[in-house]
Amino acid sequence: MSTRFFGAPVKRNEDRKLLTGQALFIDDVELPGMLHVAFLRSQVAHARLKHIDVSRARKRPGVVAVYVAEDYGDYWQPCPLLVQPPPIPGSTFNPRTQVPLARDKVRYVGEPLAVVVAESRYLAEDALDDIDVELESLSAVVDIERALKSSSARVHDDLGSNIAAHVHQMKGDYRKAAANAQIIVKRRFRYEHGISSPIETRGVVAHWNARGQQMTIWDTTQAPVFIRNGLAAMLGLGERQVRVIAPFVGGGFGPKIMMFYPEEVALPWISMRLNRPVKWIEDRLEHFVATTHERGQIHDAEIALAADGRILGVKDVFLHDTGAYNTYGLTVPINSQCTMLGPYVIPAYDSTFTAVFTNLPIVTPYRGAGRQHGVFVIERLLDLAARELDIDRAEIRRRNLIPPDAFPYNNEIIFQDFAPLSYDSGNYEPVLAKALDAIGYQRFLKEEQPKFREEGRCVGIGIACYVEGTGIGPYEGAKVQVQANGKVNVATGIGTQGQGHFTSFAQIVADQLGIDPSDVDIVTGDTDQFYWGAGTFASRGAVVAGNAVNEASAAVRRKALKLASDAFECAEEDLVLADGKVSIAGIPGKFIRLGELAQRANPMRGAVRPGTEPGLESTQYFGPPSGATANGVHAAIVEIDPLTFELKVLRYVVVHDCGTVINPMILEGQIHGGVAQGIGNAFFEKLAFDDQGQLLNASLADYLLPTALDVPRMELDHTVTPSPLNPLGIKGAGEAGAIPVGAVFAQAIEDALQLTSRKIELLEIPLSPSRLFELTRQEGT
Amino acid sequence: MKPAPFKYVLASSLDHALALKAEHGDEARFLAGGQSLIPAMNFRLARPSVLIDINGLTSLAGIDRPEAGQVRVGALMRYRALERDGEFLRSCPLFADALPHIAHPQIRNRGTIGGNLSHADPASELPALAVAMQAKMRIRSAAGGRTVAASDFFAGLLTTDLASDEMLVDITYPVLAPRSGACFMEVARRRGDFAIAGVAAVVTLDEERRCASVRLALCGVGETPVDAGAAALPMVGSRVTGESIDAVAAGVRELIAPSGNVHASADYQRHVAGELVRRAIRTAHQRISHAA
Amino acid sequence: MQPDQHEIELTVNGTRYRRTVESRMLLSDFLRHELGLAGTHVGCEHGVCGACTILLESDPVRSCLMLAVQANGRALATVEGLASADGELHPVQQAMHAHHGLQCGYCTPGILMTMTAYLTEHPSPSEDEVREALSGNLCRCTGYQNIVDAMMDAAARMREEAS
Ligand SMILES: Cc1cc2nc3c(=O)[nH]c(=O)nc-3n(C[C@H](O)[C@H](O)[C@H](O)COP(=O)(O)OP(=O)(O)OC[C@H]3O[C@@H](n4cnc5c(N)ncnc54)[C@H](O)[C@@H]3O)c2cc1C
Ligand code: FES
Ligand code: FES
């Protein structure tokens, strides 16, 4: 294989459609006779449902149907558990999954109670007012600490408590480590992550064709194949009767992977009932409560160190808010637990978490998926330890990095993919060195910062390391097919939400088949084009599907060469595959175009030799044995106005290693976007709930996504340590940008305001000017 | 997030608009820029049954100078038109500081000064400017007209002195007096957001460069714009110094009673308001020297 | 209440349209679902995200905060009208492609409409000015950096075209 395109910043194939307004997004699907759906959602967080009367709504002109839970009959079933908990001995796990419409009880503000189908969305919303709901309010479980008191109300009546799960994992002997330690640093940390808030909300269109007995579903999902299989089973249809299409999706970042949302379950059923196409587009107000969140954890963590700063052990006990249901298993808290170990040698680790049910929207992974929480805790512990031991912040990190000869490095505990947490490859010190160099760490501390301080300016530096488990299994597949016109069609089962798969996969194919990436058409997210697959999550699209595409195109390449060698009656070694044709080396005039070979591979007459598959095509699957571990370092210099606490990021540096790179331009874009979301998480975005479980800032005017003025220019660099776990050597990168930003911000702000000299520590995220004011005032006086 | 049904009427004249409002009262709303009203209708927080579109009333969309030293701005003047009117910005420099803080260009292309003041969001910049500048608001109804001072116009949270049949037709601002400097500053979470706290200050010196008067109004820290002129009184009659400015800031912190919101605690708002008062007076004062 | 209907006539991207609309129909919905100009996106319907930005005459406005009936007699421009008739992309579109200024592309039409208007009025902006001009359009994917670079490049391309 040549590498003309692999590794090059090839411009994206998908851009033209998007730039001219021609790409098909979910709300662009228009079908004759289509009806529109609106959901009546609970206005209270916790209540018993006494009675719903929809009779007035049914009579409103323009309303076609109104359904409540009873109307679903046997179709009403709690969602299957989507992700099993890893088999960790001694764990408790109490699965409680969401229901299609609330029946006896509502468990969060926004939970759907009834569904209205009307001639337009305007009319459907009108009819929501006509529905009378009688509820008996219960006290809301909002605070995860109070939720565990025996006096607390219970989110699920049949459970004896609000414990959703309890998991203990350990390696080494922390007690012994602590006994040998020079110092032990122990603190309480609070880390809240927010909502993904893609600019496009969710949506579903379902179209039941009664004559053809075919169901077509357009869905903003990250996992179309699972949705097809699940809905087919629920609807009593064969999988071949259901086609799920994830069209262009306007950003996902995790919550669009959550499956069998009540709306996803409702729409196909309604379409079958009414025999008409139906559409539901989530509005922004709904999005704040109807799409899953990621939220908070409280960690009581301690670190034991030797006098030279070497980590002897870490102990952590944390609470995790899982929301009203835990359909997505333990993915988020397990990620927190595992990612806390970071790039460091931590001989002893003792970690226990309790996942807690609350009367708040469901928690599922959002970019980073719990990794932020773990990274924040370990990085802050190291900062505090460095200070106590009087070691430089960067130096204490360097001393603890896993050395390059220790890979694969087994961290022993179980990761979200059920495999032991093992780092496949890495070379951490150069990444740290590059980052320190790029930000000018020593120069800043020795020369620049003193000058700023003389001028009365509060400028500080922060630096944080992370690892990210990426590219987990189970598998993805791809079908690569050369067409008679010479263009190559590629289908995979994953969905895409802007990650540039149309281009990076095309680059892989182009190199294997000696064609231009623009001659490769990629289809993702259409279950009729590719039958199997898992989905786009956990930074796995490029790794897992990318390798499947590579194997399939390599197989096609072998076929093409075989066919051509038969045609020319020469050895395969004498053939060259380039510019869309196979030619004989040294005789450029003698060639066959790929398109022609494709035709020959499908002969009209004669026999296909036994053992030969017809068609110039191949379908291959790839399943990595375990996840590939990417790593990186972020560093920032920030300035704080000491009186208003407004923040300005003066510099932001990212150095990362995600193995071999398919398209550096696309990769950089992923990092930029991740950092921007990390900044939102660290300093802007906070879900403000009151003690009744009402979200007080459910609008984009009050839930603050960073703007172009809030995200600084980012300086990127990388190193390459290929993954041995896949032939392409790639590791995922989708989440790396977002993970360590909170840790960097807390450290840099502390430094800028010289808070440590005042014994003030920033042990929580998100921060804000107001919060900084409160923290500095409380403890300063 | 679609509006509830309503009847839409494009007003053909001021009298037409006023007659419709007299007829429908509180059930009807004027539609000016729509940049506050339509979001509220999309959330179904506002459900007028009649919408009287006043965008065709070009007579309300002008600027003139009724008397020397005064600028009269029609209620339908859009922010962007004001932003692009260099002469207006020189006469009323507080607007030059404040307008860029209002939302974003796309919203400023539609939003109107009359809609803004009638909406009376206490966190908005322009009500504070009106109070600081002691603007006069001219109000009309089918039955007649009246003029009220800005300080009497803002009655409470999102509430004005306008009766259900009345419309704000224009606002008269004094132009910046000689030996005066003005400054508006605010702290908001992001560019274009409503202010956590904002301060409009106008400082005027006498011939000896002693402070002759200070006008001071704040936004974001109360249910209405807050006239903090009283806190600045000790400064009048003497030279403007760092200490005298600090004393005003301290006075303002005592005067205001912010309530806090999801973005800021009340204490932070109070603290920042004081700091902004310091900075705004200092800048206003510096601008006089620079101009001189 | 009987739906309150109005007949309107307007021009979008140079094409005249005549339709009957209910008074409450938002201009964004009208463009997307009545005229089939679905390139204009909707992300919030309360004026914050900027995805629905279009040009009213030559000024960028939020189409989610106007009623369709208010567009009667007006000339609008949407993303569908940016490229030339023969398909050549507008310099701002070209620069967005060249600098990878879009990922999911959902915010892109609003950004294109905001920035073509801005760059026409301000041919030589600084980077800070570009960021300020962009601040009314939220993008969740790109972190803005490549959009900013694209706009600086687009300004240069437009200056060249004009000279
Ligand atoms: C994303 C976003 C951000 C914003 N940020 C800010 C900000 O930072 N600062 C700020 O000040 N504003 C902000 N706004 C609001 C904006 O300034 C509005 O334009 C303004 O509040 C209302 O003016 P309008 O002309 O749009 O009025 P409309 O929305 O049309 O009307 C507002 C109210 O006033 C009534 N009304 C309108 N005109 C008159 C009149 N002449 N007489 C009597 N009643 C009348 C209407 O009936 C309605 O009740 C923001 C808006 C958005 C969408
Ligand atoms: S949809 Fe109009 S601004 Fe978001
Ligand atoms: S590219 Fe996805 S929101 Fe901007």
ipTM of the complex: 0.98
Locate tokens 């601002």: which residue? Answer: B173
Does the structural domain A296-472+625-780 have CATH classification 3.30.1360.70? Answer: no
Give the full edge-to-edge strand order of the sheet including B226-227: B180-187, B197-205, B211-219, B226-227
Q: So what's the pLDDT on residue A536?
A: 59
- Do the domains spanning A27-138+196-290 and A473-622 agree at the CATH topology level? no
Q: So what's the pLDDT on residue C7?
A: 98
| CATH code for residues B7-53 | 3.30.43.10
C106, C113, C128, C148: best to mutate for the A interface, most A CBs within 10 A: C106
Question: How far, in Å, CA of B285 to CA of B270, rounded?
Answer: 23
Contact A114, A131 (CB under 8 A): yes
Locate tokens 């070209």: which residue? Answer: C94
The pLDDT tens digits of the residues spanning C84-113 come to 999 999 999 999 999 999 999 999 999 999
Average pLDDT (B258-286) is: 97
Beta strand spans in A556-627 (E): 575-578, 581-584, 587-593, 617-622
pLDDT greater than 90 at residue A418: no
Please indicate if any CB of chain A lies within 8 Å of the CB of B268. Answer: yes
A20 to chain C: nearest residue by CA?
C80
pLDDT greater than 70 at residue A781: no
Cβ of residue B112 lying under 6 Å from some atom of ligand 1: yes
Query: What's the gap in Å between C107 CA and the centre of ligand 3?
Result: 5
Q: pTM for this one?
A: 0.96
Contact B26, B159 (CB under 8 A): no
The pLDDT tens digits of the residues spanning A657-703 come to 999 988 999 999 999 999 999 999 999 999 999 999 999 999 999 99
Question: How far, in Å, CA of A280 to CA of A26, rounded?
Answer: 9
| CATH code for residues B58-174 | 3.30.465.10
Residue A3 pLDDT level (bands cut at 50, 70, 90): low
Q: What are phi and psi of A26, to 5 degrees?
A: -55, -45
Query: What's the gap in Å between A709 CA and the centre of ligand 3?
Result: 16
pLDDT greater than 80 at residue A412: yes
CB-based burial, A615-647: b 16+ in 10 Å, e otherwise: ebbbbbbbebebbbbbbbbbbbbbbbbbbbbeb
Q: Give the H or E element holding residue A479.
A: strand A476-482
Question: How far, in Å, CA of C161 to CA of A176, rounded?
Answer: 73
pLDDT greater than 90 at residue A496: no
CB-based burial, A386-415: b 16+ in 10 Å, e otherwise: beebebebbebbbbbbbeeeebebebebbb
Are C131 and A705 inside 8 Å of each other by CB? no
Q: Point out the ligand 3 atom lying closest to the alpha carbon of residue C102.
A: 1
Contact B179, B284 (CB under 8 A): no
Question: How far, in Å, CA of A206 to CA of C130, rounded?
Answer: 42
Length of chain A: 781
DSSP-assigned letter for residue A81: P
Residue A534 pLDDT level (bands cut at 50, 70, 90): low
CA distances, A108 to each of A44, A79, A319, A366, B35 (Å): 7, 16, 20, 19, 31
* Helix-, strand-, coil-residue percentages of chain B, each rounded to 5: 40, 25, 35
Domains of chain A, by residue range, sit at: 27-138+196-290, 296-472+625-780, 473-622
A27-138+196-290, CATH topology level = Aldehyde Oxidoreductase; domain 3 (3.90.1170)
Length of chain B: 292
| CATH code for residues A473-622 | 3.30.365.10
Contact C91, A184 (CB under 8 A): no
In one-letter notation, the amino acid at residue A445 is: L
The pLDDT tens digits of the residues spanning A601-660 come to 877 666 666 667 778 999 998 888 888 899 999 999 999 999 999 999 999 999 999 999
Residue B291 pLDDT level (bands cut at 50, 70, 90): low
Please indicate if any CB of chain A lies within 8 Å of the CB of B5. Answer: yes
Locate tokens 């929207």: which residue? Answer: A361
Beta strand spans in chain C (E): 5-12, 15-22, 53-56, 59-62, 75-77
Half-sphere exposure of B211 (CA within 13 A, CB side): 24
Question: How far, in Å, CA of A114 to CA of B173, rounded?
Answer: 54
Cβ of residue B173 lying under 6 Å from some atom of ligand 1: no
Q: So what's the pLDDT on residue A537?
A: 60
| CATH code for residues B180-291 | 3.30.390.50
Residues on chain C touching B7 (C-beta within 8 angstroms):
4, 23
| Helical spans, DSSP H, in A603-727 | 664-679
Domains belonging to chain C, first-starting first, are 5-81 (3.10.20.30), 91-162 (1.10.150.120)
The pLDDT tens digits of the residues spanning C46-80 come to 999 999 999 999 999 999 999 999 999 999 999 99
Q: So what's the pLDDT on residue C32?
A: 98
3-class DSSP state of A125: helix
Contact A274, A64 (CB under 8 A): yes
Which tokens hold the place of A468?
Answer: 């990210």
Beta strand spans in chain B (E): 7-10, 28-31, 50-53, 63-64, 70-74, 136-141, 144-149, 154-156, 159-160, 167-174, 180-187, 197-205, 211-219, 226-227
Which tokens hold the place of A356?
Answer: 């807690």
Beta strand spans in A54-176 (E): 63-68, 92-93, 105-106, 112-118, 132-137, 163-171
